[in-house]
Amino acid sequence: MTEAFIYDHVRTPRGKGRPDGALHEITPIQLATQVLEAIRDRNGVDTALFDDVVMGVVSPVGEQGCNIARVAALQARYAQTVSGFQLNRFCASGLEAVNVAGARVRSGEADAIVAGGVESMSRVPIFSDGGACYSDPRTNWDTWYIPQGIGADLIATMDGYSRDDVDAYAVESQARAARAWDGEWFARSIVPVRDILGETVLDRDEHMRPGTTTADLARLKPAFAETGRRDGLDAVMLQRYPQVERIEHVHTGGNSSGIVDGAAAVLVGNAAFGAASSLRPRARIRAAGSLGSEPAIMLTGPAPVSRRVLERAGMTAADIDLFEVNEAFASVVLRYMREMEIPHEKVNVAGGAIAMGHPLGATGAMILGTVVDELERRDLNTALITLCAAAGMAIAMIVERV
């Protein structure tokens, strides 16, 4: 059977997702275009060998509307035969794009696809696209829509993670990200973002706060306590989880994923493509899948989907050297490690979205790239990447170094 290989991956640094963020002046189409250009330019590859571009975008409206993937391919002056489409599996979109690319390559429909994602949260904020699940009273009611922060706090409550526990996790994420940047672990894969003058506006993740201590984090107020109480969200959640007396609100801006701008691209292709482009594959996509989970608590899918994908691959958690578990909220990762019975040493070794931010549509592709780099740097073999997503979903992928 045809294999799908990862030949290369790039990402922009992540800018703060606010008007004062370094990437706020850069349009999302530019972010998408620059990562596509980088894939072509640093590999010297003929884009006519690409079949498609797939990009995850969670708010595909306004500047991010109208199939940014195809339009970015045109803007990047890819060969006009390279088609493109945008997809939305919420926070899992970036990895889903790679998954789709891998599936098309393995099935023989395509030889090479550039897959990734883009999200400028400073210019097109989350919820910009509206949506029945939040705003249609009937749908909101029937599908148990509850904002993700409440779910994260419920996980902490049910599993018994205190405010100290989640803050300690966040401190570690910051420390690891700082160490990774200081050690230039990302150097190979970061594409500095350029302005119209060709000058660099950002070359480093700017959301990070190296040296963050638990005392720093302890000062922050729980982000979801007020809304949980005032908007009845806690009470609704307890209708679904009636054995819980009350939700302890422990998540803050400091132990939840950061709001940032960024883009990423991963070059996926078959062996024939590698030969035609004289590129050496770096990793093989071994297995992938996505799964639905309980929508009210929303964030409990990563372990179940990981178990299913491992089973499909004929593997167990013990066979995986490194894990990337998106740090949507600290409790998500803490629960994952407990459920999968894996040590923190193997998880998010270069830090995660708490420190560096979570550009919604792109993150899945970014953390895949990060773990491929780490497998190479540490001379390890297998990695599992997983992300939770809204409306109760999660995705997982297993890659193996080649």
* Interatomic CA distance for residues 251 and 114, integer angstroms: 35
Given the DSSP bridges, would you call strands 393-401 and 283-292 parallel, antiparallel or unpaired? antiparallel
Dig out the tokens for 66 from the structure: 């109208």
Which residue in the list 9, 249, 251, 358 is annotated as catalytic? 358
Contacts of 225 (CB under 8 A, 6+ apart): 249
Q: How far is the CB of 73 from another protein (least distance, A)?
A: 29
Given the DSSP bridges, would you call strands 193-194 and 52-56 parallel, antiparallel or unpaired? unpaired
C-alpha closest to that of 14 among 294, 317, 348, 357? 357
* Interatomic CA distance for residues 179 and 9, integer angstroms: 21
Is residue 66 part of the annotated active site? The answer reads no
Nearer to another protein, 114 or 150 (CB): 150
DSSP string, 152-168: HHHHHHHHT--HHHHHH
Nearer to another protein, 132 or 275 (CB): 132
> For residues 326, 332, 334 and 335, what is the CA-based torsion angle, rounded to 10 degrees?
-130
Given the DSSP bridges, would you call strands 83-87 and 52-56 parallel, antiparallel or unpaired? parallel
Q: How far is the CB of 252 from another protein (least distance, A)?
A: 20
Q: How far is the CB of 291 from another protein (least distance, A)?
A: 25
Q: Contact, 135 vs 222, CB < 8 A?
A: no
DSSP state at residue 247: -
Nearer to another protein, 245 or 341 (CB): 245
Is residue 344 part of the annotated active site? The answer reads no
Nearer to another protein, 146 or 299 (CB): 146
Nearer to another protein, 9 or 123 (CB): 123
Is residue 358 part of the annotated active site? The answer reads yes
Dig out the tokens for 315 from the structure: 């593997």
Binding site for another protein (CB under 8 A): 127, 130-132, 134-138, 140-141, 145-146, 227, 230-236, 238-239, 242-246
Nearer to another protein, 238 or 402 (CB): 238
Nearer to another protein, 47 or 157 (CB): 157
Which residue in the list 9, 24, 91, 207 is annotated as catalytic? 91
* Interatomic CA distance for residues 195 and 360, integer angstroms: 22
Please report which helix (H) or strand (E) contains residue 84, including its range. strand 83-87
Dig out the tokens for 57 from the structure: 């975008």
Q: How far is the CB of 143 from another protein (least distance, A)?
A: 11
Q: What CA–CA distances, in Å, run from 223 to 147, 252, 254? A: 12, 5, 10
In single-letter form, the type of residue at position 87 comes to: L
Q: How far is the CB of 141 from another protein (least distance, A)?
A: 6
DSSP state at residue 299: -
* Interatomic CA distance for residues 357 and 16, integer angstroms: 8
Q: How far is the CB of 274 from another protein (least distance, A)?
A: 45
Q: Contact, 65 vs 33, CB < 8 A?
A: no
* Interatomic CA distance for residues 94 and 361, integer angstroms: 5
Q: How far is the CB of 244 from another protein (least distance, A)?
A: 6
Which residue in the list 9, 24, 251, 388 is annotated as catalytic? 388
Contacts of 388 (CB under 8 A, 6+ apart): 91, 92, 293, 298, 299, 300, 301, 302, 326, 328, 332, 394
Nearer to another protein, 140 or 381 (CB): 140
* Interatomic CA distance for residues 117 and 69, integer angstroms: 9
Q: How far is the CB of 94 from another protein (least distance, A)?
A: 25
Catalytic amino acids?
Answer: 91, 358, 388
